[in-house]
Amino acid sequence: MSSASRRGFLAGAAAAGIFPAANIARAQQSYPAGLTVKFIVGFPAGGAQDIVGRAIADRLGARWNVPTVIENVAGAGGNLGMDRVAKGPTDGTQICIIPPGIATNQYLYARMPFDPEKDIVPLGMVASVPNLLCVRKDLPVNSVADLIAYAKANPGKLNYASSGVGTTVHLSAELFKRMTGVDMVHVAYRGSAPALNDLVGQNVDLMFDNISSIIGQARAGAVKPLGITLLKRSTLAPEYPPIAETVPDYDTTSWTGVGVRAGTPKEICDKIEADTQTICRDPLLRQPLAVLVAETIGMNAADATAYIASERKKWGKLITDLKVRVD
C-alpha cells in the first residue's frame, strides 16, 4: 500500500469510527516518540513471565528511547492481565506479555472476560521455556522408559505435583499420561514453589516443572531429572535427554509473546513486530533469558498467530476430553 493509499485508508477508518482519530494521528507519527509504554504481565512479580516481560520492556524501551512500566495484573491464569489489554487503549501504549493461557484458558474457564481469539493481536513470540521431568530421588527409576514401566506395574500408585490446575506443568503431565497410557494421580498446589518443596521432601513422586524453577535442585541432586519436554536437546541444558526419544512427538513448553489490543493501527503493530524481532537477536536480551534456560525465538506476527492456533488445537482437545476446569 502506498503512503497516499495508507493515509486514505486510515482517514477513512477514522471517519468510519474503526479507529479513534487520536490514535490515527499518533500512528502517523514516529511511534512511540514521547510516550510511556506499559507492559502488562498477568502474573506476580518474580515469576518466569514477569522476568521475561521485564527483559522485553527493557530492550524495547532502550531501542525506542522511551520510559517503560511493568504492570503486574495477576490472576485467573493470566486472564486479568490479558483482559486489561483487551479493554485498554489502541494507541500502542499498552503491550500484552502474552502467556500460554491465551491458547488454553478458553477451555479451562467457564466464562472468559474477553475473546482471546479476537481481542488481542499477537505480534511476536519471544521466548520458550521447556519443562523438566523430575522424580523424587529415591524413586527406583533412572530413565523415562523406567518410569513408564514402573507406572504401568503400579497403576494409580504414583502421584505427580503441579503448580495448579490448567498450568503447563499440569497439562504436560496429562499429555504424558495420554501418550504413554500410564495412570498417575494429580496433586495440585498453589504455585511451583510449594510443589517443588514437596518433591524435594519426597512427599510426591514426580513433577513436570518449568526448567527455570527446578534446574537448581536437579543439578544439585535434590531431585532426579529424567528428561526435558522438547523434541531435541536444549542448547542451554544439553545434559537432559528429550522425553521424545522415548515418547515420540512429545513436546511441551511454556512460552512468552507480545501483543496489543485488536484495532491498534497497522503502523504501530508493524513497528512493535519489527522491533521485537530485532531485540530477539540482541545479546542483552538473550543472555538474561539464557539464565532461565529460556530459548529466544524471535517469531514474527504471522508465525506467532499460527503457533497459538496450533496450541489451541493441541491443548483444547486434551482439556475438553479430560473435562479439566478451573473454578
- 217 and 240 share one domain: yes
In a domain, 150, yes or no: yes
How far apart CA 135 and CA 111 sit, in angstroms, is 35
- Are 85 and 148 found together in one domain? no
Residue-wise pLDDT for 167-199, tens only, equals 999 999 999 999 999 999 999 998 888 999 999
Give the per-residue pLDDT at 240: 98
Question: The domain containing residue 23 runs over which residues?
Answer: 3-128+255-322
3 confidence band (pLDDT: 50, 70, 90)? very low
Summarize pLDDT for 23-62 with one digit per residue, the tens: 545 444 689 999 999 999 999 888 889 999 999 999 999 9
Residue 42: Cβ within 10 Å count:
29
Tell which of 199, 215, 245 closes a domain. Answer: 245
The per-residue pLDDT for range 60-80, each reduced to its tens digit, is 999 999 999 999 999 999 999
pLDDT score recorded for residue 2: 40
Residue 327: inside a domain, yes or no?
no
Q: What is the pLDDT of residues 268-286, one digit of tens each?
A: 999 999 999 999 999 999 9
Say whether both 270 and 294 belong to one domain: yes
Residues 43 and 120 in one domain: yes
- Whether 147 is covered by a domain: the verdict is yes
State whether 265 and 122 are in the same domain: yes
Structure confidence at residue 8 as a pLDDT band (50, 70, 90): very low
The mean of the pLDDT values for the chain is: 91
CATH number at residue 170: 3.40.190.10
- Of the residues 196, 218, 245, the one at which a domain ends: 245
- pLDDT at 15 exceeding the cut of 70: no
The C-alpha atoms of residue 83 and residue 115 are separated, in whole angstroms, by 9
C-alpha cell at 210: 518449568
Q: Does residue 22 belong to any structural domain of this protein?
A: yes
pLDDT band at 18 (very low <50, low <70, confident <90, very high): very low
pLDDT, residue 191, reads 86
The model's pLDDT over 191-221, given as tens digits with 9 standing for 90+, comes to: 888 999 999 999 999 999 999 999 999 999 9
pLDDT of residue 30: 84
Same domain for 170 and 35 = no
pLDDT per position as a tens digit, 115-154? 999 999 999 999 999 999 999 999 999 999 999 999 999 9
pLDDT at 190: 85
**Arithmetic mean of pLDDT, 93-101:** 97
Domain check: are 313 and 232 in the same one?
no
Indicate which CATH number applies to the domain containing 294: 3.40.190.150
Same domain, 196 and 277: no
In which band, very low, low, confident or very high, does the pLDDT at 5 lie, cut at 50, 70 and 90?
very low
* Alpha helices, DSSP H, located in the chain: 3-16, 21-28, 48-64, 79-86, 101-108, 144-153, 168-180, 192-200, 211-220, 266-279, 283-291, 301-322
Residue 162 lies in a domain: yes
* One domain, residues 121 and 137: no
139 shares a domain with 87: no
Question: Which one of 211, 245, 279 terminates a domain?
Answer: 245
Residue 116 belongs to some domain of the structure: yes
Residue 194 and residue 230 in one domain: yes
3-state helix, strand, coil in the chain (%, to 5): 45, 20, 35
The residue type found at 281 is R
Cβ atoms < 10 Å from Cβ of 300: 17
Question: Per the structure, how many domains does the chain have?
Answer: 2
What pLDDT does residue 316 have?
A: 96
- Mark whether 121 and 161 lie in a shared domain: no
Is-contact 169 194, C-beta < 8 A?
Answer: no
pTM, rounded to two decimals: 0.85
* Residue 250, domain member (yes or no): no
**Grid cell locating 216:** 537448581
**Angstrom distance (rounded) from CA 157 to CA 36:** 54
Residue 77 lies in a domain: yes
Measured distance CA(65)–CA(58) in Å, rounded: 10
Looking at the chain, the whole-number percentage of residues with pLDDT higher than 70 is: 91
The pLDDT of residue 22 is 52
Alpha-carbon distance of 156 to 244, in angstroms, equals 23
